Amino acid sequence: MFMQQSYVSNLRPNCLTLHKPCLHGIGSSSNQTCFKVGSSRPLLTKQKNESKFKRNQCNKIKAVAVSEEAVDKKTVKVKATVTVQPTLGGLFREVGARGYDDFKDLLGKSILLEFVSIELDPETNLEKKRIKGYVHLTHRSTKEIKYEADFDVPANFGEIGAVLVENEHKRETFMKEIVLDGFLTGPIKFACDSWVHSKFDNPQLRVFFSNKSYLPSETPEGLKRLREGELVTLRGNGRGERKIFERIYDYDVYNDLGNPDKDIHLKRPVLGGKEHPYPRRCRTGRPRCAKDPLSEQPSNKVYVPRDESFSEVKQVTFSANTLQSALHALVPVLRTSAVDKNLGFPVFSAIDDLFNEGFNLPPQQQHDFKTALPRLVKLVRDARNDILRFETPATMDKDRFFWFRDEEFGRQTIAGLNPCCIQLVTEWPLKSKLDPNVYGPAESAITTDIVEKQIRGFSTVEEAIKQKKLFVLDYYDFFLPLVEEVRKLEGTTLYGSRTLFYLNEDGTVRPLAIELARPPIGKKPLWRQVFIPSWHSTEVWLWRLAKAHVLAHDAGYHQLVSHWLRTHCCTEPYIIATNRQLSAMHPIYRLLLPHFRYTMEINALAREALINADGVIESSFTPKQLSILVSSIAYDKHWQFDLQALPNDLIHRGLAEKDPNAPHGLKLAIEDYPYANDGLVLWDAIKSWVTDYVNHYYNDDSRTVVSDKELQAWWKEIRTVGHGDKKDEPWWPNLKTNEDLIEIVTTIVWITSGHHAAVNFGQYTYAGYFPNRPAIARNNMPTEDPSDQELELFYDKPEVTLLKCFPSQIQAMTVMTVLDILSSHSPDEEYLGQTVEPAWEEEPMIKAAFEKFQGRLMELEGIVDERNADKSLRNRNGAGILPYELLKPTSEPGVTGKGVPYSISI
- Give the residue numbers marked as catalytic: 563, 568, 756, 760, 906
Q: Which residues contact 322 (CB under 8 A, 6 or more apart)?
A: 372, 373, 821, 824
d(CA 563, CA 241): 30
Q: Which residues contact 495 (CB under 8 A, 6 or more apart)?
A: 479, 480, 483, 516, 517, 518, 549, 553, 781
d(CA 675, CA 887): 8
d(CA 48, CA 844): 8
d(CA 152, CA 722): 47
d(CA 733, CA 587): 20
Query: Is the distance from CB of 296 to CB of 284 less than 8 angstroms?
Result: yes
Query: Is the distance from CB of 693 to CB of 463 less than 8 angstroms?
Result: no
d(CA 888, CA 858): 9
Alpha carbons within 13 A on the beta-carbon side of 576: 31
Q: Is 39 helix (H, G, I), strand (E, B) or coil?
A: strand
Query: Is the distance from CB of 387 to CB of 358 less than 8 angstroms?
Result: yes
N-to-C CA span, the chain: 55
* Other beta carbons within 10 Å of 144: 12
* Other beta carbons within 10 Å of 486: 19
Residue 425: which of 446, 449, 442 has the closest Cα? 446
How far is residue 472 from each of residues 128, 353, 430, 587, 712, measured CA to CA in Å? 67, 35, 9, 43, 40
Specify the DSSP class assigned to residue 807.
Answer: P
Q: Residue 440: left (phi > 0), alpha (psi -120 to 50), or beta?
A: left
Element (H, E) at 159: strand 158-167
d(CA 611, CA 624): 10
Query: Is the distance from CB of 622 to CB of 337 less than 8 angstroms?
Result: no
Q: Are strands 509-518 and 527-531 parallel, antiparallel or unpaired?
A: antiparallel
Residue 204: which of 178, 169, 230 has the closest Cα? 230
In degrees and rounded to multiples of 5, residue 220 shows phi and psi of -60, 145
Task: Say which amino acid occupies 811.
Answer: Q
Residue 603: which of 246, 282, 314, 899 has the closest Cα? 282
* Other beta carbons within 10 Å of 866: 10
The gap from C-alpha 876 to its chain's centroid, in whole angstroms, comes to: 26
Q: Which residues contact 818 (CB under 8 A, 6 or more apart)?
A: 323, 326, 327, 331, 610, 616
The gap from C-alpha 378 to its chain's centroid, in whole angstroms, comes to: 30
d(CA 95, CA 320): 26
- Core vs surface per residue 806-823: b (16+ CB within 10 A) or e: bbbbbbbbbbbbbbbbbb
d(CA 742, CA 735): 10
Instruction: State the DSSP string of 630-666.
Output: HHHHHHHHT--SGGGSHHHHHHHTTSEEE-TTSGGGE
The gap from C-alpha 432 to its chain's centroid, in whole angstroms, comes to: 33
Q: Which residues contact 230 (CB under 8 A, 6 or more apart)?
A: 18, 207, 583, 584
d(CA 301, CA 604): 9
d(CA 127, CA 118): 8
